[in-house]
Amino acid sequence: MVDMNDDDLLDALGVEVPTLKTAARTPREERIIAGFEDIQRFYQTHGRAPLHGEDRDIFERLYAVRLDQLRKLPEAQTLLAGLDNHGLMSGTAVAAINVDDLDGDALLAELGISSEPVDQDDITVLRHVRSSAAIKAAEEIAARNPCKDFESFKPLFEEVEAGLKQKLWITKPFGKNASIEVGDFFILSGLIAYVAEVGDTYKTPNAETNGRLRVIYSNETESDLLLRSLQRALYKDSEGRAGSRLIKVDSGPLFSDMAEPDDIETGTIYVLRSQSSHPFVAEHRELIHKIGVTGGKVETRIAGADKDATYLLADVEVVATYKLHNLNRSRLESIFHRLFGAAQLDLTIEDRFGNPVKPREWFLVPLQVIDEAVERIRDGSITGVTYDPTLARLV
């Protein structure tokens, strides 16, 4: 028998072999299919189609938008009909844009799909790399996990909850970009939130402070969201008492639930001691103190003190700080000047350019007297006292 190949043998037997036609897809069609396969993988993992919503993962939200747009695209309906095993394309689309106003390329751009061919060998093209916007959005979504050591925080929440019922705590709307520090309480989405830890902070490209927080919630969960994310969430969450700072009521002239132009939501009174080698300062170093108020970090305020005549052109030591809420800066500073005005340091020094400078806010007052003054500010009894320099005490 003459040797025959497979085709000759089949021909001799009268078997007709149909020619298989390979449907060539355009790069555009391949990208549509690839985008749809991402949505299918999501469905297979979660058992449902991707959904919209700010509480959803950033990639689920992207898939939801992509699916909506694919449902509107007649070309995609035809192309994906044989691949849509889960009926994803038959859902009702959300009218995000008017598809009639867009041509095919513009609609693909809405899906994040480029209509231009891509050189697969081009090493300058990044693939499978999230954009900076996607990374930033993912960072801001911090899942709440069970708080394993909630029992150690429980007394704090009980105190706040009881204080709110007895009106010993008040709420104050959270201002945009207001400060957030360890020990602060807030109401966010109906839960009491407590800032338990602040990690290392850093400056964002637009010079804003950011860093990781450990936040404990009254429902026994916690999260490690970013400081800026919490600020934005508190500022946007404005229904009822949500998005509020919780403040323990302090009586007296400095504290009020009514905001004034110079209010500091969270402030610090700081007391400094100079390291100046000036003879008079060196002789009375334990008695000479600078009293100031800041709404930020004390360390930031005193940076570069040795180059600032306000700080006697010398480094300073922070000897005391007092944390206060809902205070008025100018009113507080005027109280200290009224109280210790008779003991204000009368000293003139030359600045770096040889100009005479007389620094303010330095007083010849013992530290224990400043402690007492702050306590009297807190309890409201400061209005009835004054400082006697000869006795070195409040009378």
Most confident of 135-139, 192-196, 389-393: 192-196
pLDDT at residue number 216: 92
Distance CA 255, CA 199 (A): 30
Could you give the percent of the chain with pLDDT greater than 90? 3
Over the chain, what is the mean pLDDT? 74
pLDDT attached to residue 336: 83
Phi, psi dihedrals of residue 110, rounded to the nearest 5°: -60, -30
β-pairing, 169-173 with 185-188?
A: unpaired
Contact 189, 242 (CB under 8 A): yes
Report, as an integer, the average pLDDT of 157-182: 79
pLDDT (tens digit, 9 = 90+) per residue, 340-395?
Answer: 888 888 888 777 677 777 777 788 899 999 888 888 877 667 767 788 888 888 88
Contact 381, 395 (CB under 8 A): no
Over the Cα atoms of the chain, what is R_g? 34
Q: Which residues, including other chains, have CB under 8 Å from residue 81's CB and lie 6 or more apart? A: 89
Give the three-state DSSP class for 73.
Answer: coil
Angle at alpha carbon of residue 48, lines to 44 and 52, rounded to 5°: 125
* Tokens coding 280: 């008079």
> β-pairing, 393-394 with 349-350?
unpaired
Lookup: tokens for 29: 């069609």
DSSP strands (E only) in the chain = 145-146, 169-173, 185-188, 191-203, 209-217, 221-223, 244-248, 263-274, 288-294, 316-328, 349-350, 356-357, 362-364, 387-388, 393-394
Quick check: 134 pLDDT over 60? no
C-alpha to C-alpha distance for 130 and 114, rounded to whole angstroms: 16
Dist CA 243 CA 192 (whole Å): 10
Spatial separation of the C-alpha atoms in residues 197 and 176, rounded to whole Å: 21
Residue 209 near residue 195, CB atoms below 8 Å = no
Q: Does the reported pTM lie above 0.85?
A: no
Give how far Cα 157 sits from Cα of 169, 204, 240, Å. 12, 32, 20
What is the per-residue pLDDT across 42-60, written as a single tens digit (0 to 9) for each?
888 888 888 887 777 777 8
Where do we find the tokens 């700081």? Answer: 270
DSSP string, 294-341: ESS-HHHHTTTGGG-GGGTTS-EEEEEEEEEEEEEHHHHHHHHHHHHG
- Cα 168–171–172 angle (5° rounding)? 135
The CA distance from 65 to 51, in Å, is: 9
pLDDT at 324: 72
Handedness of CA 318, 322, 325, 328 (dihedral sign): negative
Question: pLDDT for 324-344, tens place per residue?
Answer: 766 666 677 778 887 888 888
Q: Among 15-19, 138-142, 314-318, 386-390, whose mean pLDDT is lowest?
A: 138-142
Query: Domain-by-domain residue ranges, the chain?
Result: 27-139, 143-248, 263-394
